[in-house]
């Protein structure tokens, strides 16, 4: 059920973070710290998420448009 899924997710997240800590030693890239970071201002976090989501959506729409144009010209 839901408890099992949450437990598996938590375990997978823990394993991923520990592996990232091990792999990022000596590289100067603090990946694990970024994963553990929690935003203090949830409003700003949600706003950043919306901006990133909208940008991704625009990129995907533009790519789809270019592919459609390419297919039309190829025929």
Task: Kindly report, residue by residue over 19-75, the tens digit of the pLDDT.
Answer: 777 776 666 656 656 656 676 777 877 887 788 888 888 888 888 899 899 999 988
**pTM: predicted TM-score of the whole model, two decimal places:** 0.45
At residue 68, the pLDDT reads 92
At residue 55, the pLDDT reads 84
Q: Which two tokens stand for residue 4?
A: 């099992």
> What is the SS3 assignment for 3?
helix
At residue 12, the pLDDT reads 86
């Amino acid at each position: 059920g839901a408890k099992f899924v949450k437990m598996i997710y938590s375990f997978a997240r823990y394993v991923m973070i520990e592996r990232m800590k091990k792999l990022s030693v000596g590289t100067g890239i603090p990946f694990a710290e970024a994963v553990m970071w929690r935003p203090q201002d949830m409003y700003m976090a949600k706003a950043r998420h919306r901006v990133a989501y909208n940008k991704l959506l625009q990129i995907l729409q533009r790519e789809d448009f270019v592919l459609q144009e390419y297919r039309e010209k190829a025929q």
